[in-house]
Structure 1
Amino acid sequence: MDEKELILLVRQGNQSAFTTLYKNYWRQVYNFCRLYLIDKNAIEEVVQEVFVKVWESRDFIREDDNFKGLLFIITRNLVFNQHRKNVNEDFYKMTILAAMEDSYNMEEEIDARNLSEYIDQLIAELPPRRKEIFNLSRKEHLSYKEIAQQLNLSEKTVEHQISEALKYLKQNVYMLSLFLF
């Protein structure tokens, strides 16, 4: 049965068709979530919520629409809602760790090496001082206080520069995910 037929059946409330769609797409949703979330429970919760929303809005799904695109939009919104609840400066580390885990099936979304290279390219595009501060924090694992002392800056300046760098990285990794998904 093809996707359009499954969607028609789901619109009619057919749980078996919904289960088939779930089985076909849950891994892609899961892998996309892992790009942004590191906590397995949070990932599973988002995946479950994505498909609950699909079921709840089944009356509005058209068989001619891009179902993968719909899943991506729902997933993206739920992931970013989750992030807003838990904003944290280790986003960069989490993204790289999630991309490099052995069990992560990157072929369906993004090749881990390409993601790492892309992020390195983004870091290279940062303004020189911001790049220096970011690299001291993320690659040399210095604290904000140590960076501030080494560069003769205030800790607030270091914090602001790291925050701006992370914001830039998030926006561009998000744009890449839009392109790929």
Structure 2
Amino acid sequence: MKSKTIHINSSTLRLLRKGDEKAFEYLFHQYYNQIYTFVLNTLFDKTFAEDITQSVFISLWEKREMINPEASIIPLLYTIARNHVYRQTEQLLLKYKYEQYQQETIQENTDIEEDVNSRFLENILSDFIEKLPSERRKIFLLSRKENLSNKEIASRLDISEKTVETQIRRSLIFLREKMKYYINTILL
């Protein structure tokens, strides 16, 4: 029985070598599931398994003239499949590494850009704080830089809490108005 199968495969392979499409279709239908299962068990992805199995048979057709009709076709199909799986795995690995590199580069660029923007805004804000009237600037800096409460500022400067609140509110209105353009520019 085994020799009959080899004989059928031999004659089928001879026909395939000559470009017989029916012989190719026969081999395709005979071995597709076997090769597909092998690839699927290797990659665990149905889409890749289907694509690679198709590629295996395309390669078989393209290399049909080099087939030895006296040898079994199964080892050849598995060798082609294994090579395609290796290539696919290498491509996926390279793609993954490239995407990782891109993500890292984008993140680094974003971090650098955010840092530059932050320093730029801090410098602009410092310039505008310097333009505040002297007493207002002092009150604002005690509030924002030293984190003192309105009561502590009032006590330290010997002024009313209401004056502190008013001066901080006026400082914030002035700074928001002056910074609005710069913030909008950076956000766009």
Higher Cα radius of gyration: 2
Q: Which of structures 1 and 2 has the larger relative contact order (alpha carbons within 8 angstroms, sep 6+)?
A: 1
